[in-house]
Structure 1
Amino acid sequence: MLCSHGVQAQEQTGEAPCRLALVLALDVSASVDAEEYVLQRDGLAAALLLPEIRQAVLNGGGPVALAAYEWSGRQQQAIILPWTLLRSEGDLMRAASQIASAQRSHTGFPTASGYALGFGAGMLTRAPQCDRAVLDLSGDGINNEGFGPDLAYANFPFAGVVVNGLAILGPDDGVYDFYRDQVLHGPGAFLEIARGFEDFGQAMGLKLFREINDLQIGSDQIKAPGCCG
C-alpha cells in the first residue's frame, strides 16, 4: 500500500519484508507543561530500549519501520524521527537517542486531533512498504480546534491503516471516552491508558509490545505477560 522502494531494497539485500510501519504521535498542546513533555519524550525513548521491545523488534521475522512526530494546533506538527528501518540494536539505539534529544517544537497551541491524524496519514504514504500500517496517537485532552477524527478518517488516506490510542488521564475527564469512541480506527485497534505523565513510559512500552507483536485482544488495555515491568 505504500511506496515501492522498500521492496526493491529488500530484494537486493535478501532480507525479510518490512512487517510494520509504525508512526508515533506525541501531544505537545498547551495542556502539556515542560515537565510533562520531558516525561513523555523520555518515556518513549526508554520504552524503545526495553528488553521486551528489543526482542519484539529484532526477532520478529523482518524489520519494523518507525517514525515519530509532535502535534498540537492546526499547523503545529513537527517530525522528531523520520522513517527509520529498525534492523539492528544499533538502529533502535539511534532512534531512541534521536527522540530523547528532541527539543519541543511548539507550546501554547490547542488540541487539533483531526489535523494530527491527517498529518500522520500523510506520513504513512511516504513510509517504506510494510505488511501493516499503524498510527499511534497519544494525548491528554479532547479535540478543541478544527475538525475531529471522524472527518480526518473520511478525508485522508486511512485505507488499511489502524489507529491506536494512548490516553493520558488527568484533569480532562473526557479524554478516555474521546480516545475510545473517536480516535480508535481499523480492525484490532486498541486503547492503552497512562495514569498521568509519570506512567507514560510504562503505558507506551505495553502498547509498543502489542503493536509490534500484532496482538489483538478484546479489551481496552492488557498487560502483556512479562512485558515492561
Structure 2
Amino acid sequence: MALALGLDVSGSVDNAENRLQLDGLAAALEHPETQSALFGTPGTTVALAVYQWGAPDQQDVLIDWTQITGQSQLAHVVGRLRSTDSRFVDPYTGLGAALVFGANMLAEREDCWKHTLDISGDGPSNAGPPPDSVTLTARPRVTVNALVINPTGRDNVTKDLTHTRTLLDHYRTDVVRGPGAFVETAQDFDDFEDAMIRKLRRELRPLALSQLRASR
C-alpha cells in the first residue's frame, strides 16, 4: 500500500498551527492502533511519503518514499516530522496543484496494490486549477481522502468556497474521490492529532483486512 500525506502549510497556517499539525501526525503514526495495522503481519507493508503544499507552485517533499518495515523506519519518519518547522508564507491555497503533485508521487509506486492520497487543509482552494477540474485517471487508480480542519468554515465566510456552504462541503464535493474515499474532520488544529488517528485507522483498514484474509 502506498500512502502519500499532503499537509497544508500555506499562509493561513501559522507557526503554532504548523507545529500542531506536524507533531499531531507524528503522534498518530506512533499510536498503538496505527502501529498494529502497520506491523500486524510480516511481509505486508506500507510505503509512506509526506509532502507540504501551499500556493500552486509550492510543494515540498518532507519525507520521500519510505517502506515502513519496522520501528527504525517509523522512528525516522517521526523524528523528521518533529524536527522540522518549514512552511510557506504565500497566502494562496493551490489545492488542485497539491492533488496533482501527490498523484505524481504515487505514480512512482507502481509496485503497490493500493494508492491513497491523504490531503489535509484548513481553507478552500483559491489559486491554480480548481480541485474538481483535476484529472488523476492517467495515473494508477488513486483514492483521495481528506482531513478538513475547521469544517464549518467559520473563518472562511468571506472566501470563495466554490458554490458550497462550508469547507467540509467543499472537500466532499470537489476534492475526495476514488474507491472508498472519505473526509475526516478536526474542529481546529488542537484536534488534529485525534482526527489523524481516526483517519489513519480507517485508511489502513484495507491492510488489516488483507492480513485477516491471508491468515485464513
Where 1:131 maps in the other structure, the secondary structure is coil
Alpha-carbon contact 2:117-2:144 (below 8 Å) kept: yes
1:109 CA displacement: 3.2
- Contact 2:115/2:140 (8 A) holds in 1: no
Moved over 3 A (4+): 156-159
Helix, strand or coil at the partner of 1:35: helix
> Partner of 2:190 in structure 1?
198
Q: Which is worse superposed, 186-195 or 104-113?
A: 104-113
Where in structure 2 are there 5+ consecutive unaligned residues? 158-165, 208-216
SS at match of 1:65: strand
Preserved CA contact (<8 Å) 1:76 1:106: yes
1:159 deviates by: 4.3
Which of 136, 150, 156 is matched with 1:172 structurally?
A: 156
> Given the two structures, how large is their TM-score scaled by the length of structure 1?
0.81
Verify the 8 A CA contact 1:65 1:128 in the aligned structure 2: no
Q: Does 1:67 align with 2:49?
A: yes
Letter in 2 for 1:177: D
Q: Say if 2:162 is the partner of 1:181.
A: no
2:132 is aligned with 1:150: yes
Residue 34 of structure 1 is matched in structure 2 by 15
Return the TM-score normalized by structure 2. Answer: 0.85
Match for residue 204 of structure 2?
212
Once structures 1 and 2 are overlaid, which stretch shifts more, 125-134 or 50-59?
Answer: 125-134
**Conservation of the 8 A alpha-carbon contact between 1:21 and 1:128:** no
Aligned to 1:161: 142
1:223 equivalent in structure 2: none
Instruction: Give the CA deviation at 1:127.
Output: 2.5
Would you say 1:52 and 2:33 are equivalent positions? yes
Deviation of the 1:214 alpha carbon: 2.2
Aligned residues: 195
Segments of 5+ residues of structure 1 without an aligned counterpart are: 1-19, 216-229
Determine helix, strand or coil for the equivalent of 2:204.
helix
Contact kept, 8 Å, 2:18 with 2:87, in 1: the verdict is no
Question: Matches of 2:91 and 2:10 in 1, distance apart?
Answer: 5
RMSD of aligned C-alpha atoms? 1.6
